[in-house]
C-alpha cells in the first residue's frame, strides 16, 4: 500500500485528508505545523523553511507523495520542493478556474490568506484564467485563527465574515472560492450569509483526483489508517486524537455543503 503524507500549517489540511479518506485506499500521514501556525501573514522565507523541514521529515517517514494541503505553502514552496524531491508534490491553488468554468459571466470572490492573495502564483493564475476581469480577491486571515481555536461558528465568526463581505454586492457573484483549507470549517456559516445564487467551491476533490492519477491509486475508500504529527512530534495524546477526530467529523458534514 502506498504512503501518502498531507501537510498543512494546522488543521485546515484535514479537509483534504477527509476527502482522501473517503475516496482512496492508502496509508495516510497527517502533519500539522502546530508550532508555526498560522502561515498566512508570515514572511515567505520563514514559510519556505518550515515547509522544507516538514517535507524532509515526511520523506524520512517513507512518504511516497506529499500533498501540500495548504494553498499558502503551495504558493511559496511547491516549485522549490519539486526540484528537490523525486516523489510527487501535489499542491493546491484557489479553484478560480473551476468557478469561472462553471459560470463565465458573473463575478467570483476568491478568498485565501494574505500571503496567497499577494503571491506571484496568484497573479499568474488570475492572468491565465480571468480574461474578463471577473475575479475579486479577499484575504480572511482571522478564519485560520478561529479554526485553530476550535471556534467554528458563533457570533464572532459571523460578525467577522459579515464585515469582510459587506463591501461586495454578492448578487453579482456566482461563487465564493475557498482558497485556504482552513476555510472549509466555516461552510455552514458562509452558506447562511451568502445568497442562494452563490455556490461554495474548494479545490479538495480536484486535488485528490490528481493524487490518485499521479500515484495510480484506485478511487475506492480504504481502512483509513492515519498517523498524526504536530511539528515532528507524533500525536499520541488521547485528547488530541479526539480533537482531530472531531475536526474530521465536522469536515465530513461541511463537505456536503456547496
- Where do contacts with ligand DGL occur on this chain (CB under 6 A)? 8-10, 12, 37-40, 70-72, 113, 116, 144, 180-182
Q: Any residues with CB less than 8 A from the CB of 71 and at least 6 apart, and which?
A: 92, 93, 94, 112, 113, 116, 179, 180, 181, 203
Q: Kind of pairing, strands 135-139 and 89-90? A: unpaired
When the beta carbons of 20 and 25 are compared against ligand DGL, the nearer one is 20
Q: Give yes or no: 70 in active site.
A: yes
Looking at the Cβ atoms of 76 and 108, the one nearer to ligand DGL is 76
Instruction: Indicate if 247 belongs to the active site.
Output: no
Q: How far is CA 9 from the centre of its chain?
A: 10
Closer residue to ligand DGL in complex, CB, 41/219: 41
Closest CA to 215 of 18, 26, 11: 26
Name the one residue in this structure whose C-alpha cell is 480574461.
131
Cell, residue 157: 465568526
Q: Report the nearest approach of ligand DGL to the CB of residue 122 (Å).
A: 11
Cβ nearer to ligand DGL, comparing 32 with 134 = 32
DSSP string covering 193-241: HS-TT-EEEESHHHHHHHHHHHHT--SS-----EEEEETTEEP--HHHH
CB of 223 to ligand DGL, least distance (A): 26
Q: Which of 66, 165, 180, 248 is catalytic?
A: 180
Closest chain position to ligand DGL (CB)? 40
Catalytic choice (70, 99, 117, 212): 70
Nearest to 35 by CA among 237, 236, 231, 173: 231
* In the complex, minimum distance from the CB of residue 170 to ligand DGL, in angstroms, rounded to a whole number: 23
Active site residues per annotation: 70, 180
Amino acid at each position: 500500500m502506498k504512503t501518502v503524507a498531507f501537510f498543512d500549517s494546522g488543521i485546515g489540511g484535514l479537509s483534504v485528508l477527509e476527502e482522501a479518506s473517503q475516496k482512496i485506499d492508502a496509508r495516510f500521514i497527517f502533519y500539522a505545523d502546530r508550532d508555526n501556525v498560522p502561515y498566512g501573514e508570515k514572511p515567505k522565507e520563514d514559510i519556505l523553511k518550515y515547509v522544507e523541514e516538514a517535507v524532509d521529515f515526511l520523506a524520512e517517514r517513507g512518504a511516497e507523495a506529499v500533498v501540500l494541503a495548504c494553498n499558502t505553502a503551495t504558493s511559496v514552496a511547491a516549485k522549490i520542493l519539486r526540484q528537490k524531491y523525486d516523489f510527487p508534490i501535489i499542491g493546491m491553488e484557489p479553484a478560480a478556474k473551476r468557478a469561472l468554468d462553471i459560470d463565465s459571466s458573473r463575478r467570483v470572490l476568491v478568498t485565501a490568506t494574505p500571503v496567497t492573495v499577494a503571491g506571484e502564483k496568484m497573479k499568474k493564475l488570475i492572468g491565465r484564467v480571468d480574461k474578463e476581469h471577473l475575479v475579486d480577491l479577499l484575504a480572511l486571515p482571522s478564519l485560520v485563527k478561529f479554526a485553530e481555536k476550535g471556534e467554528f461558528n458563533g457570533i464572532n465568526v459571523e460578525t467577522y465574515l459579515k464585515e469582510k463581505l459587506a463591501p461586495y454586492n454578492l448578487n453579482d457573484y456566482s461563487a465564493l472560492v475557498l482558497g485556504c483549507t482552513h476555510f472549509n470549517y466555516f461552510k455552514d456559516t458562509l452558506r447562511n450569509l451568502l445568497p442562494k445564487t452563490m455556490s461554495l467551491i474548494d479545490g479538495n476533490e480536484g486535488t485528490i483526483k490528481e493524487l490518485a492519477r499521479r500515484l495510480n491509486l484506485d478511487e475506492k475508500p480504504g481502512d483509513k489508517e492515519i498517523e498524526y504529527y504536530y511539528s515532528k512530534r507524533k500525536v499520541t495524546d488521547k485528547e488530541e486524537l479526539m480533537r482531530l477526530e472531531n475536526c474530521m467529523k465536522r469536515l465530513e458534514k461541511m463537505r456536503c455543503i456547496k
